[in-house]
Amino acid sequence: MPSTSPIVTIMIRAAEKAGRVLLRDFNEVENLQVSRKGPADFVTAADKRSEEIIFEELKKARPTYSFLMEESGEVEGEDKDHVWIVDPIDGTHNFMHGIPHWCISIALEVKSRIEAGIVYDPVKEELFRAERSSGAFLGQHRRIRVSGRNELESASIAIGYGKPNPEKHKVFIEETKMVSATCPMIRRFGAAALDLSYVAAGRLEGYWERGLKPWDAAAGYLIVKEAGGFVNSIDNEDNPIYSDSLVAGNEAIYNHLRKTLKAA
Ligand code: IPD
pLDDT tens digits, one per residue of 219-248: 999 999 999 999 999 988 789 999 999 999
Ligand 1 atom index nearest CA of 189: 10
Which amino acid appears at position 61 of this protein?
A
In the predicted model, residues of the chain with pLDDT beneath 70 are 1-2, 33-38
Q: Write out pLDDT tens, residues 174-196.
A: 999 999 999 999 999 999 999 99
- Residue 41 Cα to ligand 1 midpoint, Å, equals 18
pLDDT in the model for residue 1: 45
Provide CB contacts within 8 A for 104, sequence distance 6+: 15, 18, 19, 22, 50, 54, 87, 88, 89, 90, 119, 120, 122
pLDDT in the model for residue 131: 98
pTM > 0.85: yes
Enumerate residues lining ligand 1, CB below 6 A.
70, 87, 90-92, 160-162, 190-192, 209, 211-213, 216
Rounded CA-CA distance 93/109 in Å is 27
